[in-house]
Amino acid sequence: MDVRDMQGDAGIWEELSWADLSSREKELWTILGWRQDKWDGNDAPASADKDWNDLNPQEMIAAMNLGFSEELWNSTEDE
């Protein structure tokens, strides 16, 4: 598995531990500021509070590769 298809449901990520993620998913989430301790502790990095247009180009590409669109990213809150 490379990157799972979240099918428009960003909530799938919250059900997974860091150990459940593929190496590619970990790589993409790392670009967005996540690390194992943050992920498993639900301690969101700064990117989680950014609007889509405030993501830097690398963050935006990582988010898109994880299945996020601008609308989905902006409507998703880390809980």
DSSP string of 15-64, one letter each residue? G--GGGS-HHHHHHHHHTT--HHHHHHT---GGGGS-GGGS-HHHHHHHH
**Size (the chain), residues:** 79
Q: What is the pLDDT of residues 11-38, one digit of tens each?
A: 999 899 999 999 999 999 999 999 999 9
Q: CA dihedral defined by 37, 30, 18, 41, rounded to 10 degrees?
A: 30
Q: How many domains does the chain have?
A: 1
Range of the domain at 50: 21-75
Domain membership of residue 57 (yes or no) is yes
Domain membership of residue 26 (yes or no) is yes
- CB of 37 closer than 8 Å to CB of 22: no
Q: So what's the pLDDT on residue 65? A: 97
